[in-house]
Structure 1
Amino acid sequence: MKRVALFGAGRIGRIHATNLAALPGVQLALISDPMVDAARQLAAPLGAQVAPSLDAVFADASIDAVVIASPTTTHSDLIGRAAAARKAIFCEKPVDLSVERAQACARAVAGAGVACMIGFQRRFDPTFNEARQRLDRGDIGEPEMLVITSRDPGAPPVDYIRQSGGIFRDMLIHDFDVFRWILTGDGNDEAAWLSATGSCLTDPAIGEAGDIDSTAVTIRTRSGRLCQINTSRRAAYGYDQRFEVLGSKGLLACGNHRPSEVTQATAAGTRVDNPEHFFLQRYREAYRLEVVHFFEQLQNGRPFRTTVQDGVAAQVLADAAAESLRTGQPVTLQ
């Protein structure tokens, strides 16, 4: 039985808590959050206890693993403390808003010899993962171009945007990871060149907070493969999550998920459901599967699908995109 402590009783914390409580061989033992009432309300129906303090969690020898679902600004500190306490670590993206601090986390994890997985849940989405498996089988030959569409139905509160690190580090961090996972495969063909531009088109308050809400990013890998990413904070029709991979022998296209797959056709026209409303619905199964993977790999000692090094690599791309937007010039990557 693996005993687990969860940091964070907010939206993502609640998702992970529910999934953890349902896993056989896993006990959600402690929940820690500065908002004690939120922690208590989450813990009670799941049979968990509220942690008296952070120190108590890390000092508890019965805790085998920690799940970090607290605000981004706390991630690197909690990873460092968990590594020092020799706890296995699952941490929501990103590792940190700073590449340097993310790299320091990677060194701390390696130095302590602990297992650490970063929560890029899109790699566990059944649709996207099926595409990855078909690529691995060579179904469309060598992948040459990737086009990612990633659009939210609406922006988060402006107060959140102010402390988010910007759209590239907050929202596109997932898309940068998908680029690496799908197009560069085993990591031997990383990004070599990146160009990013963006605008504030959906809400002037986002611009006043120092951010943008609409972006276009182009990436070229060392071997010349190309990726285009388009994102928006506003899609009136739902949560728009798609990508397509063009290969030497064909195409793989991953479409949106819908509440139902019913197509209604009448004399007045044809109707289908809009995409799922938001990420909580779209990636419901992916969130479950990633924690299943975490504990399965812990049990068998095999590597995780998403590592702290993947977190660092995505952060490097986010920083490059922010620099390209700032200067109006492409960025060459090492």
Structure 2
Amino acid sequence: MLKVGLLGAGRIGQVHAANIARHPGSQLAAVADVNGAAAEALAAGHGAAVRSAEAILADESINAVLIATSTDTHSDLIEAAAAAGKAVLCEKPVDLSLARARACLAKVAESGVPVMIGFNRRFDPNFAALKAASDAGEIGRAELLSVTSFDPAPPPVSYVRVSGGLFRDMMIHDFDMANFIMGTLPVSVMAVGSALVDPDIGAAGDVDTAVVTLLYADGRIAVIRNSRRAAYGYDQRLELLGSEGLLQAENVLEHTVVKSTAAGVSGARPEHFFLERYRSAYVAEWGAFVEAVRAGTPQPVTLRDGIDALALAEAATESARTGKPVVVTG
């Protein structure tokens, strides 16, 4: 049984707590959060103890930690957990600074402790099936990838100011998806962005609408589209064009009922937001982490993967600022 300490009792921490407690191979042993009331409530709901992060890391009976704290704490906590010999699953991104993330990788590599980064979308059954079909050669040579990711509404500007920007906070999932589907890093990134949804986001120095083009060494192309506003719901789609066909992963809808009348044909909207849309992906992600730790096999999403996605986010941020393509350095 994998005994787990959860660092962070916010919205995503609550999702992880339920998955840890539900999995037959893991037990939620302790919860830590700077908000004591949140930690108490979450721990009580799962029969766990409330401890400080330091106490969790010092507890030799705890085998693993899940880091769901604010981004500015991720690298420090990954390093501390690795030094304590704990297996780690950390929410994205590794850090807001690529240099700091690389330093974290170098330090953790010395410990040999398994670290997984929480790019849960790799575990979405639809996206995983598209990846498997592409790898099996079902559409020939994959040539053009299109990733669409539109949020239903923008986050508060107070969050935007500390998020690291759309490319590091939101599009980083899509950068990882491009790396996952295409199997390698691109050689260059070209990005454009605007504040069309909320002028206060622009005033905070960020964008809320963006398009990024990734160019690969062999000429393949990926295009990523992000918006902080989609009035019809949470829009999450992939399309992969190959030499012999097309693969598409469409939106997951609230239900499958379609109404057809003389007035027209109508159906359901996409799932409202990420907690609903990626519910099964979070479950599968935790299961993959537990299986790898127990079997002693490599984690399916590594710290290196986290740094590769962050490198693309940093390149896109620079490209959007300068209006020029940026060469990628992983």
Tell me the TM-score normalized by structure 2: 0.98
What letter matches 2:222 in structure 1?
C
1:105 is matched with: 104
Q: CA deviation at 1:173?
A: 0.2
SS of 2:147's partner is: strand
Q: CA deviation at 1:303?
A: 1.6
- 1:149-187 Cα offsets, whole Å, 9 max, x none, are 11000111111100000000000000000000001x2x3
Question: Which whole-Å CA distance do the structure 2 matches of 1:61 and 1:301 have between them?
Answer: 19
Quick check: 1:287 aligned with 2:282? yes
Structure 2 matches for 1:59-138, cutoff 5 A?
59-138=58-137
2:46 is matched with: 46
Q: CA deviation at 1:54?
A: 2.1
238, 244, 265: which one pairs with 1:243? Answer: 238
Question: Which whole-Å CA distance do the structure 2 matches of 1:86 and 1:222 have between them?
Answer: 39
Q: Structure 1: which 4+ aligned runs deviate by more than 6 Å?
A: none
175, 186, 190: which one pairs with 1:191? Answer: 186
Quick check: 1:208 aligned with 2:203? yes
Q: CA deviation at 1:142?
A: 1.2
Root-mean-square deviation (CA, aligned residues, Å) is: 0.8
Q: CA deviation at 1:263?
A: 1.1
Q: CA deviation at 1:262?
A: 1.4
2:20 is matched with: 20
Quick check: 1:147 aligned with 2:137? no
Question: Which whole-Å CA distance do the structure 2 matches of 1:54 and 1:28 have between them?
Answer: 14
What letter matches 2:220 in structure 1?
R
Q: CA deviation at 1:278?
A: 0.5
Q: CA deviation at 1:57?
A: 1.2
Q: CA deviation at 1:304?
A: 1.8
Question: Which whole-Å CA distance do the structure 2 matches of 1:210 and 1:112 have between them?
Answer: 38
Question: Which whole-Å CA distance do the structure 1 matches of 2:198 and 2:296 have between them?
Answer: 47
269, 278, 285: which one pairs with 1:274? Answer: 269
SS of 1:31's partner is: strand
**Corresponding residue pairs, total:** 329
Tell me the TM-score normalized by structure 1: 0.97
What letter matches 2:57 in structure 1?
F
SS of 2:212's partner is: strand
Question: Which whole-Å CA distance do the structure 1 matches of 2:148 and 2:242 have between them?
Answer: 18
Question: Which whole-Å CA distance do the structure 1 matches of 2:328 and 2:127 have between them?
Answer: 27
Question: Which whole-Å CA distance do the structure 1 matches of 2:45 and 2:191 have between them?
Answer: 46
The percent identity for this pair of structures is 54
What letter matches 1:224 in structure 2?
G
Q: CA deviation at 1:109?
A: 1.7
Quick check: 1:261 aligned with 2:220? no
What letter matches 2:209 in structure 1?
S
SS of 1:201's partner is: coil
Question: Which whole-Å CA distance do the structure 1 matches of 2:328 and 2:141 have between them?
Answer: 23
Moved more, 296-305 or 219-228: 296-305
Q: CA deviation at 1:333?
A: 2.2
- 1:124-158 Cα offsets, whole Å, 9 max, x none, are 00000000111121111111110111100011111
Quick check: 1:221 aligned with 2:216? yes
- 1:170-215 Cα offsets, whole Å, 9 max, x none, are 00000000000001x2x3xx21111000100011111111111000
SS of 1:108's partner is: helix
What letter matches 1:33 in structure 2?
D
SS of 1:191's partner is: coil
- 1:297-323 Cα offsets, whole Å, 9 max, x none, are 111122222100000000000000000
Structure 2 matches for 1:149-188, cutoff 5 A?
149-183=148-182, 185=183, 187=184
What letter matches 1:4 in structure 2?
V
Structure 2 matches for 1:313-328, cutoff 5 A?
313-328=308-323
SS of 2:163's partner is: coil
Q: Any gaps of 5 or more consecutive residues in structure 1?
A: none
1:11 is matched with: 11
What letter matches 1:210 in structure 2?
G
